[in-house]
Amino acid sequence: MSTAVAAAAAAPAPAVAESYLSHGRGPRSWLLSLDHKRIGVMYLLAIGASLLLGGVFALVLRLNLWRPEGGLVSNDAFNKLFTLHGAVMIFLFVIPGIPAALGNFVLPLQLGAKDLAFPRVNLISFWLYVVGAILFLATLVVGGIDTGWTIYPPYSLESARGLGILFALTALFVVGFSSILTGLNFIATIHRMRPPGMGWFDLPLFLWALYATGLIQVISTPVLGITAAMGFLERIFHLGLFMPEYGGDPVLFQHFFWFYSHPAVYIMILPAMGVVSEVVSVFSRKPIFGYRFIAMSSIAIAVIGFLVWGHHMFVSGQSAAASIVFSGLTFFVAIPSAIKVFNWLATMYRGAIVLATPMVYVLTFFAIFAVGGLTGLFLGALATDVPLHDTYFVVAHFHFVMVGAVMTAFLAGLHYWWPKITGRMYDERLGLWSSALVFVGFHVTFVPQFLAGVAGMPRRYATYAPALVGHNRVSTVGAFVLAAGLCLALFGLLRSLRSGRPAPPNPWGAASLEWAAPSPPPWDNFERTPHAPPGPYDYSGLRHVSDEAGWVRGEVSR
């Protein structure tokens, strides 16, 4: 009986169209594809390459810090390396990472739609990203830039900086538009293309997170574009906007920059939280706890996130009143994050927890995000921010949030949707080992940096006091363990393309609509617009048939 069911479920329905991977061949069918899935895969490759590049920069930086006097590379080379490390990681990996790669692939599928609302805009957005990435790398050809990714004037706009800064500002402008268009597309799609029967509170929480992210992208990224354009004009025409020597105000630039760049942190973390909400429910086999609170806390983070940028400027000379208001608002943003964490934990309570790779990554996310979030309290508080500002404490804090939490969630999501994207199951054992290595390597790298910061080591230092050699060496060793963990994850995923067993439509027993499509999905996703499932986290009708056939919705109860 059970074999008969398995055979019936495994046999493909005769009318299913060919998979998106084989529909259309040749480079043009990929590079100019309007299919959200192919664009998602191209994004995945592009951000993977960016992560690799940014990671190599990071390892060179860590090696240079092995000795207090540096010396592996010159100070100037060190400064250029950390600038590119930051710019590549933030603008080319972390910001587009989850939304543009995983979001592009998953969003229309979760809505039971055939594509995003504006497929051509989606393709434009991808190519803008590529052009921006090339412009960033072009700065290397003209000698590199050494301004830090924050490009604060007057340093960044001095004429001695050469052409590189103009390339970088143009790259920011272009990449910014890529991000705006993606956000716009996501918002429009979630508004207009929900299937019959799916109200706002029936959306998977990943979509709530992408919606909140889209709002931030659309509202804040134009400010980055405008700031980059103003910097460009200031550099060429000496308008007197940011440069004191022409009558401008460098602190004004900091306001503009952080008006985008602080919300940008939430562009990074919100989609990560969305992935966590999906994975923690599916692998606890329980509906998510406090759905509405999680959904609304995404929106709350997006809104409050706009009002806290001044906490980057407590020692810049901004007015005392401004500093106090920004400090108070910063503490508020801690609350929705706390709500999410407790709801995730409550979801696991009395569940039937499956320790598959995505879930293990999410479990490590809890610890890492807790540290990342809690250490933010020290930096939102005025008294403790003054000594900690611009030290390694800040470096460790934002790496816990942006590398630890976001990358862990990205890896969780990548493993979770990998069977859907590629039609192959990855090797569970390699996946678990990689998550353990990433977890250990990450902590060995960044915990000592907290301590170095408390001891008074400023960031962006090519050389440092000999007393801190221990902190730095432990951190360098950790960076290589982390790199090994990431390489292992990559190896496991790539190997599955060759030797992984074919994935069933629903290997995890998830209830959202992307798992109703075959793995990999046909080029037009669904033959008929599917009806919304009973709930995005209602697992009651799902039965596990076999590893080959996965989970199916059936009326037969056991």
Secondary structure letter of residue 516 according to DSSP: G
Interface pick for other proteins out of 384, 440, 484, 553 (rule CB under 8 A): 384
In our burial notation (b when 16+ CB lie closer than 10 A, e otherwise), range 252-283 reads ebbbbbbbbbbbbbbbbbbbbbbbbbbbbbbb
Complex with other proteins: residue 24 or 351, whichever CB lies closer:
351
- Residue 307 in contact with other proteins, rule: CB under 8 A: no
Interface pick for other proteins out of 36, 235, 311, 389 (rule CB under 8 A): 389
Total residues contacting other proteins by CB under 8 A comes to 92
CA–CA dist 398, 459 (Å, integer): 12
User: In angstroms, how far is the first alpha carbon of the chain from the final one?
Assistant: 13
Interhelix angle 205-237/291-304, nearest 10 degrees:
10
Complex with other proteins: residue 82 or 260, whichever CB lies closer:
82
Contact positions with other proteins (CB under 8 A) in 75-114: 75-76, 79
Interhelix angle 334-348/357-380, nearest 10 degrees:
150
State the binding string over 13-42 for other proteins (x if CB under 8 A, else -).
Answer: ------------------------------
- Residue 541 in contact with other proteins, rule: CB under 8 A: no
Q: Rounded to the nearest whole angstrom, what is the least distance from the CB of residue 382 to other proteins in the complex?
A: 4
Interface pick for other proteins out of 30, 127, 152, 306 (rule CB under 8 A): 152
Stretch of residues binding other proteins (CB under 8 A), selected from 137-145, 326-334, 482-490, 495-503: 326-334
Give the 3-state secondary structure of residue 351.
Answer: coil
State the binding string over 45-74 for other proteins (x if CB under 8 A, else -).
Answer: ------------------------------
Phi-psi category of residue 525: left, alpha or beta, with phi > 0 → left and psi -120 to 50 → alpha: left
Complex with other proteins: residue 105 or 439, whichever CB lies closer:
439
Contact positions with other proteins (CB under 8 A) in 216-275: 244-245, 247-251
> What is the DSSP secondary-structure string of 376-399?
HHHHHSHHHHHHHTTBHHHHHHHH
CA–CA dist 77, 371 (Å, integer): 32
- Residue 477 in contact with other proteins, rule: CB under 8 A: yes
Output the CA torsion sign for 248, 249, 250, 253.
negative
Output the CA torsion sign for 440, 442, 445, 447.
negative
Complex with other proteins: residue 78 or 259, whichever CB lies closer:
78
Residue 445 CB neighbour total at 10 angstroms: 25
Q: Rounded to the nearest whole angstrom, what is the least distance from the CB of residue 370 to other proteins in the complex?
A: 5
- Residue 374 in contact with other proteins, rule: CB under 8 A: yes
Q: Rounded to the nearest whole angstrom, what is the least distance from the CB of residue 100 to other proteins in the complex?
A: 29
Complex with other proteins: residue 448 or 520, whichever CB lies closer:
448
Contact positions with other proteins (CB under 8 A) in 438-467: 447-448, 451, 454-456, 458-465, 467
Which amino acid type is present at position 501?
A: R
Distances (CA, A) of 436 to 66, 369, 402, 427: 25, 16, 18, 15
